């Protein structure tokens, strides 16, 4: 249950005998829906499963019987597919990116739907604000990136693709190799995961903060004016999150395509 729902049920206001229940890390923890041994199935896990079903179910329904003149569902599916194909895959990777369009489309819509759950009633939580989900997605991209580098260039060429720069002075080779290794093998998956997680974490925290503040300050007093201001900020933050949920899915998929493109090209 979300922090502001708990606050509403408790009836806690500024003129009541209770302190402001500031949201924090506890706002991202949920009691298990059920447990099997030491495994706890929580709300973020449920949302991830729901998002998976939505993405798989939608594209299966849209393309299971494709028509030359598409129906409404197929048309929406084609628009989404073509957006990722033209704006990301083919734009970044080129003709070689054709085979990766289904992979990138799946990533884009899965991340976007998980993000947008923050704005859906009763869900009201972005699963990507739990670090494990961005880490898993970044790991999937990283494994694909490393696999393609070695598959395309062989073992020696793959190593060269990851850590080598052409035309550098010999004295700088050890330093450049270390820096390239850190950048391509360590930092890329880390920053890919952190970027998505940090944005969704911060956005959800702000929305919860102003939602809780609006209810807490809503009393028959001058504080109601401040509560109204908090409500306006909450609405604006929610509207901004509509853009951010899409933008973060786009950036994540764009970076994934850049990494794939780099693994397919010869060492630089």
Question: Is the whole model's pTM more than 0.85, yes or no?
Answer: yes
Mean pLDDT of the chain, nearest integer: 86
221/232 Cα distance (integer angstroms): 18
Question: How long, in residues, is the chain?
Answer: 268
pLDDT of residue 143: 94
Strand 39-41 with 34-36, pairing: antiparallel
Q: How many CB atoms lie within 10 A of CB 171?
A: 7
Measured over the CA atoms of residue 10, residue 11, residue 12 and residue 18, the dihedral's sign is negative
245/100 Cα distance (integer angstroms): 23
Write the CB contacts of 111 (distance below 8 Å, at least 6 apart in sequence): 128, 137, 196, 248, 249, 252, 253
pLDDT of residue 1: 47
250/127 Cα distance (integer angstroms): 17
| Residue found under tokens 């080598």 | 164
pLDDT tens-digit map of 202-241: 998 988 888 888 887 777 777 778 888 888 998 999 899 9
Vertex 192 angle, CA 187 and 198, to 5°: 115
pLDDT of residue 259: 92
Contact 200, 129 (CB under 8 A): yes
Name which of 12-26, 150-164, 246-260 the model is least confident about: 12-26
pLDDT tens-digit map of 113-167: 999 999 888 888 999 999 999 999 999 999 999 999 899 888 888 888 888 777 7
238/209 Cα distance (integer angstroms): 12
CA dist 183 to 131, 139, 142, 191, Å?
21, 15, 12, 10
pLDDT of residue 169: 78
Residue 148 in 3-state DSSP?
Answer: helix
Bridge partner list, 40: 35
């Amino acid at each position: 249950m979300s922090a502001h729902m708990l606050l509403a049920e408790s009836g806690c206001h500024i003129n009541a005998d209770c302190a402001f229940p500031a949201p924090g890390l506890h706002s991202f923890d949920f009691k298990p829906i059920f447990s099997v041994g030491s495994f706890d199935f929580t709300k973020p896990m449920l949302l991830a499963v729901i998002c998976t079903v939505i993405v798989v179910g939608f594209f299966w329904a849209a393309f299971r019987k494709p028509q030359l003149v598409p129906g409404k569902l197929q048309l929406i599916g084609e628009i989404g597919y073509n957006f990722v194909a033209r704006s990301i895959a083919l734009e970044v990777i080129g003709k070689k990116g054709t085979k990766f369009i289904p992979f990138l489309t799946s990533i884009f819509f899965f991340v976007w739907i998980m993000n947008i759950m923050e704005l859906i009633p009763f869900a009201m939580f972005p699963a990507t604000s739990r670090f494990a989900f961005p880490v898993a997605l970044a790991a999937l991209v990283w494994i694909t990136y490393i696999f393609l580098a070695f598959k395309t260039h062989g073992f020696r060429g793959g190593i060269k693709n990851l850590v080598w720069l052409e035309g550098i002075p010999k004295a700088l080779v050890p330093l450049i190799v270390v820096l390239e290794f850190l950048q391509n093998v360590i930092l890329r998956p880390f920053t890919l995961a952190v970027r998505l997680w940090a944005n969704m974490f911060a956005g959800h925290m702000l929305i919860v903060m102003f939602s809780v503040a609006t209810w807490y300050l809503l009393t028959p007093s001058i504080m109601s004016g401040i509560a109204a201001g908090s409500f306006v900020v909450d609405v604006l933050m929610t509207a901004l999150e509509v853009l951010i949920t899409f933008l973060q899915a786009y950036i994540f998929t764009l970076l994934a395509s850049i990494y794939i493109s780099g693994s397919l090209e010869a060492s630089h």
